[in-house]
Amino acid sequence: MKNKYLVTILLSSILIWACTDKKETSSASGTDSLAVADTTAINADTLTTNEPIINDVVKDTVLDNAARFIAGLPQLTENSFTALQADKYWKEYQTSMDANWDKMYKTRLSKMAAWEKSTFSTSIDDSLSLFYPFSGPDFLHAFYLFPHSKEFVMAALEPIREVVPLDTISEKNRDEFLDSLGNSLRDIFNKSYFITTHMQNDLKQVKGVLPPLYFFIERSGHELLEQKFFTLNEDGTEKEVKGSQIHWQKTPGVKLIFRDRVTLEIKTLYYYSISISNAGLNDRPAFVKFIEQRAPVNTFVKSASYLMHKEAFTKIKTIILKNSNHVFQDDTGMPYKNFKNKLEWTGQFYGEYIKPVKDFSSELYQADLDSAYKAGGKRDLPFSLGYHWSTKKQNYMLFSKAKLAPNR
């Protein structure tokens, strides 16, 4: 029976892959051959022995069912969300999310995926864990640039909250939840980044970063297996806590384990709701240890409001420089002077460098970076990702640590 189940799932996954080309929309259909126990809350405590065990991870099917509903994707088994798919508002939400996703995939994500495969992956060690500071809940672009990473570590101010059980609340509240989530995603669809002021309002309605994280994980072709809320011990190791207590913690985190529906590769995402300013990191040495324990890592920075150009964010720069083998960033990340003329770093320049958008001070213009671009050697960037979404004159830089000479 176990082998039959695995074969069935594998064949179903291959069909989904063929139809979607590494994306999933509501056009996917079909049912799994395995019946699962139904519950009414997104809570690990509701797991039963009927849940499938995948690489020693007990799959929380309730979690995955809820995540598919949130992502506007059809259920693959009969469960408490199946009937809710007939709701008029959910169908409208599904249609809207499909249209937005398809447009974004065609104009941005497909180009990123092709560039990653042909160019980017050959320039980095893509097996390393990915560190994504100032990320918000943007797992989406991290995955499309670093699809081979098995671990993603994200950190930002946006809060972590338990997701309300959408299959038990009123239809009115459920519709309001979906409406708020759709609003929170509008900037990602249209501009490729979250706007802080919009997020502060939108995430109040959907109760934190988990709904958009679910959305991106499911739409990028994965199934959620497990979710745990945690904080850190002094030595940087995880200490599980109840979801209802997560907002009391100094270093609140959520751990999501998920699996590619085609390759069956299991990945882990850590999201920390913390300040990574000097003051925030000085108050959380355990988080610094958590990053150091994963070194060397790849680091990705985009649309980061030029915070690392300020004196209040020098510590996070030190952490990145110390623990990263590769840093992929736009000009909103670390100033070019932090890499320029440093023997241990080599740089590759992509796209076009122009002055910061008008929302930011002209003082953030980097003449030395402009000179580096004009000196030649810049490479094409076939997609737009960042603040210059209207002109598509984006810049990205890949800084890599030089290989150390072997001992003689």
pLDDT tens by residue, 20-72: 344 565 543 332 222 222 323 344 433 444 678 887 888 999 999 999 999 99
Residue 375 lies inside a defined structural domain of this protein: no
- Is 353 contained in some domain? no
Examine residue 351 and state whether it is found in any structural domain, yes or no. Answer: no
Which residues fall within 8 angstroms of residue 153, CB to CB, at 6 or more apart?
129, 130, 131, 132, 270, 272, 290, 291, 294, 297
Domain extent for 155: 2-324
Sign for the pseudo-dihedral over CA of 324, 327, 333, 337: positive
Radius of gyration of the chain measured on its C-alpha atoms = 21
Q: What is the pTM of this model?
A: 0.86
66 belongs to a structural domain:
yes
Does residue 395 sit within a domain? Answer: no
Find out whether the peptide bond into 296 is cis, omega within 30 degrees of 0: yes
> How many domains are there within the chain?
1
Q: Is residue 166 part of a domain?
A: yes
> Is 376 a domain residue?
no
Q: Is 139 helix (H, G, I), strand (E, B) or coil?
A: helix
Measured N-to-C along each axis, helices 171-191 and 210-219 cross at an angle, to the nearest 10 degrees, of 70
Give the tokens for residue 240: 């599980």
- Of residues 155, 121, 138, the one with CA closest to residue 328: 121
Instruction: Note whether residue 332 is domain-resident.
Output: no
pLDDT (mean) for 143-160: 97
The reported pLDDT for the residue numbered 344 is: 93
pLDDT digits (tens, 9 = 90+) for 274-296: 999 999 999 999 999 999 999 99
The backbone region for 356, taken as left when phi is positive above 0, alpha when psi lies in -120 to 50, beta otherwise, is beta
